[in-house]
């Protein structure tokens, strides 16, 4: 999740659970190629699932967050919060 784009994808999916590739691309301002690479990394980690199908003769790719992805995201956020609330005195 350390990549800014992977974190953005996970942040989107944590709230809506599932989204089309084009929606994620628009919301993250990512290129299709870069987004595909980052989605593959998230899939390889087991954090998201990707579903490819055709709708009206057009390819439709949707991504959804997995239970493992939710747990990893929550752990990541908790770790960040811990860093932010560290007393430096």
Q: For 6-51, how does the pLDDT look when each residue is reduced to its tens digit (9 = 90+)?
A: 999 999 999 999 999 999 999 999 999 999 999 999 999 999 999 9
How far apart are alpha carbons 10 and 4 in whole angstroms? Answer: 10
pLDDT of residue 87: 62
Number of domains in the chain: 1
For the beta carbon of residue 60, count every other beta carbon within 10 angstroms: 13
Minimal CA–CA distance to 65: which of 7, 25, 4?
A: 7
At 49-67, the pLDDT tens digits run 999 999 899 889 999 999 9
Q: Residues 12, 28: contact at Cβ < 8 Å? A: yes
Q: Do the domain assignments include residue 89?
A: no
Q: Do the domain assignments include residue 50?
A: yes
Instruction: Give the structural domain span for 75.
Output: 4-84
Whether pTM > 0.75 for this model: the answer is yes
At 3, is the secondary structure helix, strand, or coil? coil
What's the CATH code of the domain at 19?
1.10.10.10
Q: Do the domain assignments include residue 25?
A: yes
72 vs 1, higher pLDDT: 72
Q: CA 70 → CA 24, 34, 78, 88, distances in Å?
A: 17, 22, 12, 30
Q: Do the domain assignments include residue 38?
A: yes
């Amino acid at each position: 999740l350390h990549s800014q784009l992977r974190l953005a994808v996970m942040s989107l999916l944590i709230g809506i659970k599932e989204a089309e590739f084009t929606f994620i691309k628009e919301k993250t301002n990512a290129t299709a190629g870069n987004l595909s690479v980052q989605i593959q990394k998230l899939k390889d980690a087991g954090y998201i699932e990707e579903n490819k199908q055709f709708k009206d003769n057009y390819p439709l790719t949707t991504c959804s967050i997995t239970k493992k992805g939710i747990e990893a995201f929550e752990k990541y956020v908790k770790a960040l919060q811990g860093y932010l609330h560290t007393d430096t005195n």
